[in-house]
Amino acid sequence: MRDTVDFPNPAFQAAGNEMGPNGNGRMPAPSEDCLYLNIWTPGADRRRRPVMFYNHGGGYMIGSGSATGQDGTHLAQLYDVVVVESNHRLGLLGYLFLGDLAADDRYAANQGMLDILAALHWTRENIENFGGDPDNVMVWGESGGGAKTAAIHTMPDAVPLFHKASIESAAPLRFPTRAGATARAERTLELLGLTVADIPALNGIPAERLLAIQQSEAANGAPPWGDPGSLPGFGAFVDGTVIPRHPFADGAAPFSAGKPLMCGTCRDETVFFSLFGPPDIFRIDEAGLRRELGRTYQGTELDRVIEVFHRSRPDATPAQLYFAITTSPIWRDAIKIAEAKAAQRAAPVFMYQLAYKNPTLVPGTDFPLGSPHASDINLKFANTDKNLDSLLNADQSPGRLATARHMSGLWAGFAHRGRPAADGVPAWPAYTPQRRATMRLDAECTIVDDPDRTERLYWQRG
């Protein structure tokens, strides 16, 4: 018997926010002793409720299954489900791959994902004691957690452990390769001043030193979308065994074909990533739009992408166009996931876009937040009463509360029946390449066929 009143140790990472002595006290300090999970249940009565197994975000680098915004209390109370969230190794301690450098089978690949697999096994074996149904498990996650969910969808050993999935604000068509993970390991040894012959010495290096090395380079986490590059960050990768293939670049995994899927994004994803710097980007003019986009697009391609989005969104300001253009490739790749799943003709896929226009202004500007990355977390967990000191969650208007009711109800409906449905929301058709029906989540939800079609056709022109 164990005391389970307090939240457990998060995976090793920089303390702060809600963690440890530098945080607000919800969780203890991060630790290498982190393989724990949380369960929220209406009752330990063996009633076999749907299980919602959530993977926290944070780009494989930070985060916890105990974070306030994703507290499972309200979901369990409102929708008669059991919520499970695990802590698992992150960053260097979870994804440093030494197997091809040390030629030693003790150095497993994708250890952080194996931790999640172990949590799924534990859930399979024990969740009935907590009122959950081991034969009705939904795996879901946002951002880095969405990428972890895509990894689970692509892991043969996970097939008997889950029955439906939701990939949210993440569109990983490809994972880093085994060669890329090895290149990252070589770079890590270099930063530590070690050679391959020194690999056994890693066991004697304090975790704090490893964390400092992990954080010494800007791009040290595997992104939840886009191509990973030749020197990827730490995260899930195609090792050939645990994860034998890319998630969706070559079609969806055949061994998960029979499992229903949800996928989608927030309409203004990239606004989030500009909230932590100078507010200048929110005030750009047309010349500033060209300057900022010129970091990615050149020449006629720059002219063309601006022209297409001006035509698609004629009333948008230059700043709004900037965030629409930078968000659009994430939406494009989410569409590719839905197309790959639909092409299997084995289980439905449901496409969504969170479009609630949060009116809260970015500090120092007249730019409203809209629906940025991570704004969905409190909504789908029905946690509009939490994190009120956060810019993303301060809005308590009836429109945001209604959006939360709709989103949490739909997600719980998917957990119950494998088809998302909720009171006060129109019927949600499965996505097909012919109709491209998409749920637009808002205070008044609507089904939109092929949203932003002009933009989709632009990206698919090649």
- Give the tens place of pLDDT for each residue, 244-286: 999 999 999 999 999 999 999 999 999 999 999 999 999 999 9
| Residue 462 confidence (pLDDT) | 56
Phi first, then psi: give them for residue 217, nearest 5 degrees. -120, 145
Neighbour order of strands in the sheet with 437-441: 37-40, 82-86, 49-55, 132-142, 164-168, 261-266, 349-354, 437-441, 446-449
Domain around 73: 37-275+325-453
pLDDT confidence bin for 218, thresholds 50/70/90 = low
Say if 55 falls within a structural domain: yes
| Residue 268 confidence (pLDDT) | 98
Say if 10 falls within a structural domain: no
Say if 17 falls within a structural domain: no
DSSP 8-class letter at 31:
B
Q: Which helix (H) or strand (E) holds 311?
A: helix 299-312
Catalytic position from the list 168, 269, 339, 455 = 269
Of the chain, the percentage scoring pLDDT greater than 70 comes to: 99
Catalytic position from the list 66, 86, 143, 169 = 143
269 is catalytic: yes
Give mean pLDDT, residues 228-252: 96
Say if 388 falls within a structural domain: yes
Say if 462 falls within a structural domain: no
Spell out the residues 6+ positions from residue 357 whose beta carbon is closer than 8 angstroms to its own. 368, 370, 371, 442
β-pair partners for 370: 358
DSSP 8-class letter at 16:
B
The answer on pLDDT for 429 being more than 70 is yes
Pairs from 383-387 (Cβ < 8 Å, separation ≥ 24): 383/68, 383/69, 383/70, 383/71, 383/74, 386/68, 386/69, 386/71, 387/68, 387/69
Q: What is the pLDDT of residues 366-410, one digit of tens each?
A: 999 999 999 999 999 999 999 999 999 999 999 999 999 999 999
Q: What is the pLDDT of residues 24-68, one digit of tens each?
A: 889 999 999 999 999 999 999 989 999 999 999 999 999 999 999
Q: How many domains does the chain have?
A: 1
Q: What is the pLDDT of residues 70-101, one digit of tens each?
A: 999 999 999 999 999 999 999 999 999 999 99
Say if 147 falls within a structural domain: yes
Q: What is the mean pLDDT of the chain?
A: 96
Q: Are 138 and 162 contacting, i.e. CB atoms less than 8 angstroms apart?
A: yes
Give mean pLDDT, residues 97-120: 93
Catalytic position from the list 88, 373, 406, 416 = 373
Say if 23 falls within a structural domain: no
Q: Write the CATH number for 157.
A: 3.40.50.1820
Say if 313 falls within a structural domain: no
Give mean pLDDT, residues 132-141: 98
| Residue 183 confidence (pLDDT) | 96
